[in-house]
Structures are given as structure tokens and as C-alpha cells.
A and B are shown apart, each in its own frame.
Chain A
């Protein structure tokens, strides 16, 4: 009987008897993108959608994100879901700073992306005012399919990322523009 289990695609390389040669970037990217440990930073209704995303029906574990990390130290992906009040901004920033490199950020929903309907004095107008964001997921709140799509775009980024990117001048400038470290 033919198995229906899908495995990750083999990266480009030279295969021969008993060996397979490819780039380190491709292997590391392959490993990283299929074992993301997300840290859910859920403050409101988008967090409820995320619960559904993690549950059996949508099952984010299919994408290698079975293990949620409730400490920033072991997390790869910071998922910010919901309204971030200005008073919460330093907390979010500290969580981001505590994460070990390499790290990615996804802003789920209108509030995390832009402040959403809360155009007011107490709400941060998008988390990209305090931390760099890799992927934005629109919606108010987005459906679980959209959140999964966002995670898949993160997977694409991780799979293509060079292992040296975090040492590059471009990346350092990005961090400096946010006054991180």
C-alpha cells in the first residue's frame, strides 16, 4: 500500500551512492522551517482564533509547530495576536529581546499590524513601532486558514534564509533602527 505521508522535499544537491552533497544553508533552512517553536503573545480575540488554529481541526502541528514555547528563551517565532496597549509595548519588546537568535515575528490581525479600529491614545499603532515584523496577517480577526498561511510564509522566509544573515550589516542596521542592543 502506498503511504500518504508527505515528507519535506529534498533540497537541490548532488546525490550519489552513499552520499548527498548540498549547501549548509539549505539543510539548516530545511530543519529550521519544519520545527518552529512559536511563542503565542495573545492579548485578545485573535488569540481565540489561534487556539482554534492549534486545535485538532486546523492543527498547526502539521507544519512542525507542535510545541508551543511559553518562554521566550526557547522560542523561534513570536506570534503577536491582539491589541497591544502602549503600556504593554515595553513588555512585548522585552519578550522579543529575550528570544534567542534566530527569531522571527508575525503580527496577526489588524490591531497587532496597525492598531486596527483602536485609533486612540492608549493603543500602540502597530507592533512594528517597537519590534521588527516579518509577516503581517490581515483580518479582524483572521480565520485560522489565514494564520496558517502566515506561518507558511514565515516557513518560506526561514527556508531561504542564509545562515549568515544574522551577522550581516543589513540585519545589524535593522536592529539598530529599533534600538535593540
Chain B
């Protein structure tokens, strides 16, 4: 199925026009506004001609230089029927990183959203159990944000005085 056909189907069901693009590897991309996300994913899932039933991955990205769209959430959905993959992106400001949870559509989103919250601090509104999954519960920072120092500050053997600094 081509990008135009999917665009047409989405226009018919959601009543909004969406612009799909292809990346260098032939994967379809769709950039969405936060308030569109849930409706579009639901249509992609429910539409009998599309049947994007498999959420391959859900992850976050931090772009510190993009004003008011610092945090990005990426959804990879896969249609077994069409043998097609589709990548959806939403951008949110870092001051209010709220994205609707898609656990109501994809049960597998539960842990992936917890992971994205754990590392990027994105609040998935409507998630049944949004708490840390990989890091320690006591952790206060979101470690994959760019301002977080990657090296452990507790380590002394790399201190400056060992290197004459």
C-alpha cells in the first residue's frame, strides 16, 4: 500500500489530512500533534484495510536545541496484513512533557511507556502504572536527557588531580 492510499484512508476515517513521507530506507513517517496521536493510532489499529496491530517499539528522543519540542516520542507500528511499517512521531515541550498513553490500544505499550518515562521523564497520561521500570526507584534524574552527566560522579579514580588538572 502506498503512502497516498494510507493518507486517503486516514482522511476518510479521522477527517483530518495527514502528510506521510518516506525516509531513506522506505519506511513511512508521520509527524503528529499530541492531540491527534491517540485518534490516528486507533484508526490505524481498527481500520480493516490497515490493521496496524503490532507496536514494534516505542521510545523517546531528547533534542535540547529544539525550542518547545525538546522531547520526541517515536512509535513504530507494523501491519502484518500489509507487510508495512509506519513510524509516528510526536514532539512535546520539556516543561510539560505530556503524551496520551496508548496502553488502551496496545497492551505492549505498558512497559515501553514506563521505560520511556524512566529515561526521559515523559508523562504518559492515562497509563495504569507509570513508575520506573529499569532504574532504581530512588533515582531522581532522567538519565537519557542530554543534561544528565553520563559518568558516575561518585567515581574518584578519574578525578582531575590524577591527571595534573
Q: How far is the CB of B72 from chain A (nearest CB, A)?
A: 22
Chain B residues with CB below 8 A from A123, complex form: 152
Any A CB within 8 A of the CB of B56: no
Any A CB within 8 A of the CB of B1: no
Any A CB within 8 A of the CB of B33: no
Asked if A119 and B152 make an inter-chain contact with CB atoms under 8 angstroms apart, the answer reads: yes
Chain A residues with CB below 8 A from B148, complex form: 121
Please measure, in the bound complex, the distance between the C-alpha atom of A115 and the C-alpha atom of B151, giving whole angstroms. 11
Asked if A119 and B135 make an inter-chain contact with CB atoms under 8 angstroms apart, the answer reads: no
Asked if B152 and A87 make an inter-chain contact with CB atoms under 8 angstroms apart, the answer reads: no
Asked if A119 and B151 make an inter-chain contact with CB atoms under 8 angstroms apart, the answer reads: yes
Any A CB within 8 A of the CB of B157: yes
Chain A residues with CB below 8 A from B135, complex form: 87, 121-122
Chain B residues with CB below 8 A from A87, complex form: 134-136
Chain B residues with CB below 8 A from A86, complex form: 136
Asked if A125 and B152 make an inter-chain contact with CB atoms under 8 angstroms apart, the answer reads: yes
Asked if B157 and A121 make an inter-chain contact with CB atoms under 8 angstroms apart, the answer reads: no
Bits for B106-136, please: 1 = Cβ < 8 Å to A, else 0. Answer: 0000000000000000000000000000111
Asked if B154 and A122 make an inter-chain contact with CB atoms under 8 angstroms apart, the answer reads: no
Chain B residues with CB below 8 A from A125, complex form: 152, 154-155
Asked if B151 and A122 make an inter-chain contact with CB atoms under 8 angstroms apart, the answer reads: no
Any B CB within 8 A of the CB of A53: no
Q: How far is the CB of B89 from chain A (nearest CB, A)?
A: 26
Q: Which residues of B147-164 have CB atoms within 8 Å of chain A's CB atoms?
A: 148, 150-152, 154-155, 157-158
Asked if B151 and A120 make an inter-chain contact with CB atoms under 8 angstroms apart, the answer reads: yes
Interface residues of chain A: helix, strand, loop or mixed (majority): loop
Residue of A nearest to B132 (CB): A87
Any B CB within 8 A of the CB of A114: yes
Chain A residues with CB below 8 A from B141, complex form: 121
Chain B residues with CB below 8 A from A120, complex form: 150-152
Please measure, in the bound complex, the distance between the C-alpha atom of A121 and the C-alpha atom of B145, giving whole angstroms. 12
Bits for B29-71, please: 1 = Cβ < 8 Å to A, else 0. Answer: 0000000000000000000000000000000000000000000
Q: Using A86-B136, A87-B136, A125-B152 as known contacts, say yes or no to A119 and B143 having CB atoms under 8 A apart.
A: no
Residues of B at the A interface (CB closer than 8 Å) are: 134-136, 139, 141, 143, 148, 150-152, 154-155, 157-158
Residues of A at the B interface (CB closer than 8 Å) are: 86-87, 114-115, 119-123, 125, 129
Other than the given A87-B134, A119-B152, A121-B152, 17 more pairs (CB < 8 A) read A86-B136, A87-B136, A114-B157, A115-B152, A115-B155, A119-B155, A120-B152, A121-B139, A121-B141, A121-B150, A122-B134, A122-B135, A122-B143, A123-B152, A125-B152, A125-B154, A129-B154
18 contacts between A and B (CB under 8 A): A86-B136, A87-B134, A87-B135, A115-B152, A115-B155, A119-B152, A119-B155, A120-B150, A120-B151, A121-B135, A121-B139, A121-B141, A121-B152, A122-B135, A122-B143, A123-B152, A125-B152, A129-B154
